[in-house]
Amino acid sequence: MRHFLYVDNELVNSIIAQQGKGLVSSFTTEKERGVGKTKKRTGVFKTTVGAEADVIKLARAEASIDIGATIEGMSSNTEVTKRIFAKTLHDAAYDLAYKAIKAVKITEIDESISIGKYVELKRNYDFIDFEYLEQLFTPNGIVELIKKSDDKTIRKNAGSYINNNLNREQRRANSKEISNRVNEITNQRLNQYDDIHEVLLAIGKAIPYGRMLVTNDGFLIPLEERHFRINPASFGFMYGGEIVCVGMITNVIAASSENDVVNVFSSLQTTLYNSIMQLIPTCNNKFYVISPMAIYYEDK
């Protein structure tokens, strides 16, 4: 059983079409209106002959349906009924596409990972939402609260250290130097947040995706809002634990030096990649970018 969080139906359709089994373009129902009455709904599925058995699934477990069949006893809410069938049909289409791609299940980084291959990952992911992260740095946001807390903690710890290691005369003689040193340590700590904010703004403007998943072993999965099955704004808070991602490796991002640059465009790309690695370090200093076909929980 799968609980889909994200499905790229365009990619699913492309894979199915290449297999010669048509396109899952729609599942429509006859639109009838009436108060307090149950209406008939007629399913219409656009595909080539022969794909029906693999693609069609039911919204109701006790029923079965073939092309052109009439569904009795469904809800009179036509729009809800249409959405149920569209979702069910796309889930079934995913099964067909999944069989076709033969994704390699990746448990650890090895030589089987290369650009152009479909892979399947089951991982704990970090969800990055640039719009959400930007809100953390606004006045009265969480970062400002963290800064105040850090400042208070550093000064408290510094005071304890001074009281335990310096006598009254030493504290009096070196008060200005001690104060300057505490301020320096505090500013260094707080400036780290400003540096992160600066990098975050730059990356957010340079990357055409507002949200992505990352893993500490080096996988980066950009996400497009239109393919989410759930409210994307709630992803980072509501969903955790091991989640499956199926998709194609489409790029490899690695930190590099300016000595590797051959032209101005490469220089810009190098700066971007290094900024990403600075903000999101990985255990191997490299990211494998995955174009996701689907992201879901799986209960086997």
Kindly write down the DSSP assignment for every residue of 37-80, as one continuous string.
----EE-EE---TT-HHHH---SSTT----TTPEEPS--S-HHH
How far is residue 200's CA from residue 193's CA, in Å, rounded to a whole number?
10
Question: Sign of dihedral through CA atoms 183, 188, 192, 197?
Answer: positive
> Is 104-129+209-298 in CATH node 1.10.3470?
no
Dihedral (Cα; 89, 90, 92, 95), 10-degree rounding = 170
The structure's pTM equals 0.65
Q: pLDDT truncated to tens, each residue of the chain (300 aa)? A: 788 999 998 898 888 887 765 555 544 433 444 444 444 444 444 444 344 444 444 333 223 333 333 444 444 445 555 565 566 666 777 888 898 898 989 888 777 688 999 999 999 998 888 887 787 888 778 888 888 888 888 888 888 888 888 888 887 888 888 888 888 888 888 888 888 788 777 777 777 778 889 888 889 999 998 999 888 888 888 888 999 999 999 988 776 655 565 666 666 667 767 777 766 767 777 888 999 999 999 886
CATH 2.40.50 in the chain, residue ranges? 104-129+209-298
Residue 117, CA distances (Å) to 102, 127, 267, 277 in order: 9, 23, 28, 23
Cα 171 from Cα 275, distance rounded (Å): 42
Tell me which H or E stretch contains 108. none
